[in-house]
Amino acid sequence: MSVWAARDHHRFEAAGRPFVYLAPSAAVFALDDPADKVLASLSQAPATSEELVTRLSEHMSGTAVEQTLAELARVQAVGMLAPARAEPQPTGGTRPKVIPLAQFPLSTMVLNVTNQCNLSCTYCYEYGEDKIVDTQNGRKPKFMSEETARQSVDFMLKESRSNPVAHLTFFGGETLLNFPVLRKTIDYARRRAAELGKQVDFSLTTNATLLKPEIIEFLADEQVGVTISIDGPREVQDRFRVFHNGSGSYDVVEPKIRELLARHRSRPIGARVTLTAGGATGTLLRQYQDDLPMLFIVSQADLQVSEGGEDTLAIDVVRAEGYKCARCWRTVDTISSSPDTDGLCERCVAALGGSQAA
């Protein structure tokens, strides 16, 4: 019988409403009352759906519990526990209580190569109270050093254990402000991985302002996955994604993105859109996607936009694009929901010798 459990999450309240931050996907969702109750109950103790229906019978119908479970499973807020393995019974004496340790190799590492940025987006956390690192007065380095990046690569390769592929993502601030270290880190990681009989898959996020021919050439040659932070067409981009003097960035980034799309063909180029009230709607994004064929990924700066209206269409754009496999990071139509291969694409499930139940 399937037992449901809450996944790693953090519940919080904003504007008088409950929200949940999901650690595995770094996504934030507003919780309606049924979802809040189901998640709270599973956080206290895992349960079968029948047990959950009984637990919550005073508050909601069995059908509502089942539907809410399905919704929470779809966004990976809850998952099924792997069935307990039958352990061999000892022939005599007391049965020892031994819980076998599970192998948990590191699959992805994100290197925050700088906290500096040449843009000053209106919603950026780097300019707010939730700034990640205080770089005022030189208290913390503004750029990751080559040595720190090397040590991080060594750590990643060691902790990836028997995984044949490790994933390394570069993030910022504006990642390309530290391009020299990024380039050397990729060279080093490839070399070290080859010595260990492994591979490293690279990706980065950039605001595209610093893309230039030699950088584009490097990213294409090295097959680095690129995600562009962009909010959509000019009128939206220039309202939110501005330089420090307040001028819009659209005219700077648009030709660079076109050049990247023309040259870098080995992997789809992602577009990370930040939803804000008054920002791009789903309709606008769809039109824009026809012009700039990128894979749109939406995140939210303003939680209110998830409440309805046209903005929710933007999330539909992303859903229509499929899922990202938790192992190879390819975008696929379906991922497995089996307890032992949860979140993996069909190819990775097969590579691991498992069976897929997408």
Q: For ligand SF4, which residue of 174, 201, 231, 311 counts as binding (CB under 6 A)?
A: 174
Q: For ligand SF4, which residue of 41, 68, 76, 229 counts as binding (CB under 6 A)?
A: 229
Q: Determine the Cα–Cα distance for residues 195 and 91; give it in Å rounded to an integer.
A: 47
Q: For ligand SF4, which residue of 75, 110, 124, 133 counts as binding (CB under 6 A)?
A: 124
Q: Determine the Cα–Cα distance for residues 194 and 157; give it in Å rounded to an integer.
A: 11
Question: 7 vs 241, which CB is nearer to ligand SF4?
Answer: 241
Q: Determine the Cα–Cα distance for residues 255 and 17; give it in Å rounded to an integer.
A: 41
User: How many of the other CB atoms lie within 10 Å of CB of 191?
Assistant: 12
Minimum CB–partner distance for residue 122 and ligand SF4 (Å): 9
What are the φ/ψ torsions at residue 327 (nearest 5 degrees)?
Answer: -105, -50
Question: 4 vs 296, which CB is nearer to ligand SF4?
Answer: 296
Question: 140 vs 319, which CB is nearer to ligand SF4?
Answer: 140
Tell me the window of 4-12, 20-28, 79-87, 116-124 that interacts with ligand SF4 (CB under 6 A): 116-124
Question: 83 vs 141, which CB is nearer to ligand SF4?
Answer: 141
Q: For the CA atoms of 254, 256, 259, 260, what is the dihedral angle to 10 degrees?
A: -110
Question: By CB under 6 A, is residue 121 in contact with ligand SF4?
Answer: yes
Question: 121 vs 166, which CB is nearer to ligand SF4?
Answer: 121
Q: Determine the Cα–Cα distance for residues 52 and 210; give it in Å rounded to an integer.
A: 52
Question: By CB under 6 A, is residue 117 in contact with ligand SF4?
Answer: yes
Residues 232-251: x where in contact with ligand SF4 by CB under 6 A, - otherwise, as a string: ---------x----------
Q: For ligand SF4, which residue of 25, 107, 108, 120 counts as binding (CB under 6 A)?
A: 120
Q: Determine the Cα–Cα distance for residues 239 and 223; give it in Å rounded to an integer.
A: 32
Burial of 108 (0-12, 13-18, 19+ CB in 10 A): middle
In the DSSP assignment, the letter for residue 116 is -
Q: Contact at 8 Å (CB) between 222 and 215? A: no
HSE value, Cβ hemisphere, 13 Å, CA-based, for 124: 21
Q: For ligand SF4, which residue of 31, 77, 113, 119 counts as binding (CB under 6 A)?
A: 119
Tell me the window of 12-20, 73-81, 170-178, 215-223 that interacts with ligand SF4 (CB under 6 A): 170-178
Q: Contact at 8 Å (CB) between 65 and 49? A: yes
Residues that bind ligand SF4 (CB under 6 A): 117, 119-121, 124, 126, 172-174, 207, 229, 241
